[in-house]
Structure formats: C-alpha cells, structure tokens
Amino acid sequence: MSSFKGRFTYSVDNKGRVALPAKLRKSVSNATNENFIILRGFERCLYIYPQDEWNKLEESIRGLTFSDAQHRFFSRTLLGWATDCQLDSQQRVTLSQEHLDYAGIKNEVLILGVLERIELWDPAIYQEYEKNQPATYETVVERVLKP
Amino acid sequence: MSSFKGRFTYSVDNKGRVALPAKLRKSVSNATNENFIILRGFERCLYIYPQDEWNKLEESIRGLTFSDAQHRFFSRTLLGWATDCQLDSQQRVTLSQEHLDYAGIKNEVLILGVLERIELWDPAIYQEYEKNQPATYETVVERVLKP
DNA sequence: GCGCGGGTGGGGAAAAGTGGGGAATTAGGG
DNA sequence: CCCTAATTCCCCACTTTTCCCCACCCGCGC
C-alpha cells in the first residue's frame, strides 16, 4: 500500500519528461516494478497510479454495471485516456502531448503526493483551484484530524 | 501510544536541522523506527507525528471518498504539506524551507510536547499567541476540566 | 578532574534533478 | 519494397542538493 505525501515543483523538459521525486519513489512498493498508469484526473490534473494501486481501482471499475449508460461513459473516458508507462533510467516519466494539454502543464509542474496516487498540476491552475475552495487549511485539518 | 510533554528551546542551524530533545525521544515507541511525519499545524506552527500516531490519522484520510470534490481537496491540502522524515545520526530532523517559512521559524525554535504530537513554534510567535488568548490559564482549566 | 550524554556545527561524498546528443525503431510516401 | 523522415528511448554529462560522518562544546555526575 502506497502512502504518497508531499509537494514538489519540478521542471518539464521539452520532451515532456518529468522526474519522480525521490521521496515519492521511496513510497512505491517494489511489487509494482516501476510500472505506472497515467490518466486524466478530476479538476484538470493528471493522476499517476503505481501498478498495484491501479489494480484495485481497475477492480472497482469492473464492478460497474455494464448496462448503465453513465457507467459506460465513465469507463470509456477513464480508460480511453489512461496510458501505461515505466520510468526511464533517470527515473522519469514521459507525458504525452494530450495529457500535457489536458492539464495545461507547460514548463513547470506541481507534484502532489495523495496517498495512493500522485497528482500533476500546472502551478497556476492549482493556485486558482485552491483560491476557489470555500474551506481553508485550518478547517480541513479540523475535519480530518479530529475523530 | 506516545505521551509527549515538556517545553524546550533549541536552535535551528543553517541547514534547517533541529535536534529532537532526548526527553521526547524517550516517549517514542520503538515500533515507529525513528520515522516521523511533519506537517502544517494550527496557528502557524508545525506538527511532528511519530509514524504510529500518524497511521491513525492516515486511516481517517483514506476513509474520505474519492468521488467527493471536497474530500479530494482535503486530502490534497493535508497531504501536500506533509513530509516523511527520519532522524539523522545525531537524532535531528531537517525542516524544509516551506515549513520554516509557514511557521516563521528562523534560528530558534520552541518545541512543545503535546501528547501524541510535537509542536514547533517560533518563540516570538508563540508569545504573541499566548498574549492574545482572551482566557487565562485558570479560566480555561475551569472550562475544560469540569466534568 | 575526567568521562559521558546531549546539543551544535560544518565538510565531503553520494544521490537527485536537469538537459541534450545520438542510435534504434516506426511510420509514411514514392 | 525501399528509402526517408520523424519519433522514441537509451545513455552520458553537468549542477545542485541532500545526507552521512566527524569534531567540538557544554554541563552534569561520578
């Protein structure tokens, strides 16, 4: 079970490559064999799942009823934009142009560790997202840290 | 279960390193393997949780549903400002520049043991905080400890 | 006084992040 | 079917940061 955490601002070179922060790599279980799945996330960002965490997600998608039109739409969208990838010898992932465009990422990327997944954001878009949230850091902490 | 207590004023060197007081270290259960999680706290301070205490919090974060937009914001915010760290051979933690900035900590740090967590404050900010409390210690005691 | 444990500081080796060149593979057109 | 062009990816090199280790200082107790 992964437990990614932390916030990093890394650069994207002109080949669309992004290094995975060493601290995040340490949280990846070895079973995953450096195999990752990249897909469109919610709110204009990209999700990166290590293989083992993805498998769980895939199971729950399989559980969706085939006969429901919305379920079909959901699966098509999710899987249609998902790609396998493995790290190169420098521990980097390469993002496709479509993925970069979807998330609006250019030269810089904000990398967030969110337990079972890693999120990639354009820094400006994330700032905008944060600004539009009704909750502040303190209300979040209060809600989550108090049982 | 940890039960940190006490108050210490330590120095922060120019690499952002802070020694964990020996008295606090004695309260850490060995199971945690000298692994800690540092995150933003309430009121401009930093929280340090030993691994085993953190695990309880992480459970409640995992309980948040992936499909709820507000829950997504919660996990991003909380985890984005959290970092793993382990002690170096001198029993110190290294604080990132962002964390130092958030808490306004410069060369000196006030370390408080508060049961399951350790808090780090800038001494001046803590003094200010204390001064701005409307209630005195005695009135709070009445309110809090009354059955 | 001397030894030991605890706090403070810094130098150097190792790792992490960044960028680019060139070979191999694939695709497309003549 | 072959040649050419474009893309992918593998490898190398440089820079910065991290962290590991050593050394010192201070105070307390033996």
Per-residue pLDDT reduced to its tens digit, A50-109: 999 999 999 988 888 878 898 889 888 888 899 988 898 899 999 999 899 999 999 999
Residue corresponding to tokens 């997504």: B72
pLDDT per residue as tens, chain B (147 positions): 788 999 999 999 999 999 999 999 988 876 566 799 999 998 999 999 999 999 999 998 998 888 889 889 999 999 999 999 999 889 999 999 999 999 999 999 999 999 999 999 999 999 999 999 887 888 888 888 876
| Token output for A145 | 């840290």
Q: At what angle do helices A51-62 and A69-80 cross, to 10 degrees?
A: 160
Q: How high is the pLDDT of residue B84?
A: 94
- Phi and psi at A139, nearest 5°, equal -65, -35
The answer to whether the Cβ–Cβ distance between B78 and A23 falls below 8 Å is no
pLDDT at B30: 65
Residue A60 contacts B where some CB pair is shorter than 8 Å: no
Cα–Cα separations (whole angstroms), residue A60 to A30, A56, A57, A65: 23, 7, 5, 11
A74-133 residues near strand C (Cβ < 7 Å): 90-92
DSSP structural state of residue B64: S
A32 contacts A51 by C-beta, under 8 angstroms: yes
Instruction: Give pLDDT, residue A31.
Output: 57
Residue B72 is predicted with a pLDDT of 93
Contact B76 A113 (CB under 8 A): no
CB contact under 8 A, A147 and B69: no
Q: Å from B116 (CA) to C24 (C1')?
A: 57
* Contact between A48 and A123 (Cβ < 8 Å): no
- Contact (CB<8Å) A145/B57: yes
Q: Which of residues 92-131 of B touch strand D (CB under 7 A)?
A: 94, 96
The position carrying tokens 């382990």 is: B86
Q: Is A5 on the interface with B (CB under 8 A)?
A: yes
Q: Name the nt closest to B20 by C-alpha to C1'.
A: C7
Contacts 24+ apart (CB under 8 A), A69-78: A77/A40, A78/A39, A78/A40
Q: What pLDDT, in 10s, does the model give residues A104-134?
A: 999 999 999 999 999 999 999 999 999 999 8
What is residue B140's predicted lDDT score, i.e. its pLDDT? 84
Q: Which residues of A touch B42 (CB under 8 A)?
A: 138, 141-142
